[in-house]
Amino acid sequence: MILTVTLNPAVDYTVFGGALALHAVNRGRDIPPDPGGKGNNAARICRLLGFPVMATGIAGGHTGQFIRGALEKEGIVTDFLDVPQPTRITVAYVEEESGRDTKIVPSGPALDGAAGASFLAHFNGLLRAHSFDIVMLCGSLPPGLPVDYYGTLIDAAAAHGTRVLLDTSGAPLAGAVDHAPFMITPNLQEARELCGIDAQEMVVERLNALSKRIGLVALTLGGEGAVFCIEGQAVRIAPPRVKTVNPVGAGDAFAAGLACAYARYGFDPPMLFRWALAAGACTAQSPGVTWERGLFDSTLATMNGAQ
């Protein structure tokens, strides 16, 4: 089973329309809201790929109830810590012709130290009660939790013998890498912030050095694929050729593909590469986060020659 952790989830709305006009009314067609947040997106992809998955995190109010119910309808087991503050709502506007997206993302409800302590106890309880193939710690931290909180969760998972895939950015990522997560999946901008340099070649060098201390660093490059760093060796893999419809959630699907491939094959780098890129490409070419399983199978088939 895969455990996804989303500490700052959201109800995601996506609207498709023409070219975005600033400081004006932008009308378009919307699709049903999603139970969002990076970890929840990943949980949905894991379930779609046929893996048992449990989604946890912190949620509250009617929006939190929506997220629980929507995930459960998709066959995902949920066990969130309930808080009084309502979960946030995000909006993405996607330009249909260009595929460019604009996001409006509130920071989320402020929590206190008591909420952080309660979730740590909740998390440890889940680790004691279940045997997880891998834990995915995903997304931003809600205001009020310490910047090194993911490091605390990584240490807790390690104490139970469970490996962690970390998909976050900024200070939470920088504060967690010293705790040796098993995998991290920064995009180029996130990796530049982590390494403190701009040149892509130097970023890859720094990530290669980091990969000597953890299992895998996957540098995602959108339409250019990804660079996978393992034990100081970098491998660049091109993505499947697809038409981008909605890039929102593609990075989350990439991380889910990594987790699922690890759950099925263990630490098999070629399979990790292919599953991650295929899952990300499927979401990029779909209106929403999820898609039909057959799309993944056909996309994966195009990755069979990837080395």
**Domain coordinates of the chain in residue numbers?**
2-301
Nearest to 210 by CA among 187, 189, 235, 184: 184
Q: Alpha-carbon distance 18 to 26, whole Å?
A: 8
**Contacts of 259-264 spanning 24+ positions with Cβ under 8 A:** 259/2, 259/42, 259/46, 259/133, 259/134, 259/136, 259/165, 260/2, 260/45, 260/46, 260/49, 260/51, 262/133, 262/134, 262/165, 262/183, 263/2, 263/51, 263/133, 263/134, 264/51
pLDDT in tens, 66-98: 999 999 999 999 999 999 999 999 999 999 998
Mean pLDDT of the chain: 94
Known catalytic residue: 112?
Answer: no
Look at residues 171, 183, 226, 182 and name the one whose alpha carbon lies nearest to residue 204. 226
- In the CATH hierarchy, which fold is given to the domain comprising 2-301? UDP-N-acetylmuramoyl-L-alanine:D-glutamate ligase (3.40.1190)
Q: What's this model's pTM, rounded to 2 decimal places?
A: 0.92
Characterize the bridge pairing of strands 10-17 and 28-30.
antiparallel
Q: Which of 34, 133, 167, 252 is catalytic?
A: 252
Distances (CA, A) of 174 to 154, 159, 204: 13, 21, 16
Tokens 């709305």 found at: 13
pLDDT at 307 over 70: no
- From the list 286, 297, 238, the residue with the least C-alpha distance to 41 is 286
Do the beta carbons of residue 74 and residue 32 sit within 8 Å?
Answer: no
pLDDT at 305: 53
| Residue 45 φ/ψ, nearest 5 degrees | -70, -40
pLDDT band with cut points at 50, 70 and 90 for residue 306: very low
Q: How many CA atoms lie within 13 A of 181 on its CB side?
A: 31
- For 229-254, what is each residue's pLDDT tens digit? 999 999 999 888 888 877 778 999 99
What's the rounded Cα separation, in Å, for the pair 288 and 122?
31
Instruction: With a cut of 50, say whether residue 134 has pLDDT above it.
Output: yes
The answer to whether the beta carbons of residues 67 and 34 sit under 8 Å apart is no
Structure tokens at 101: 């997206």
Q: Which residues contact 55 (CB under 8 A, 6 or more apart)?
A: 3, 4, 6, 39, 40, 43, 71, 76, 77, 78, 79, 80
Q: What is the pLDDT of residue 243?
A: 82
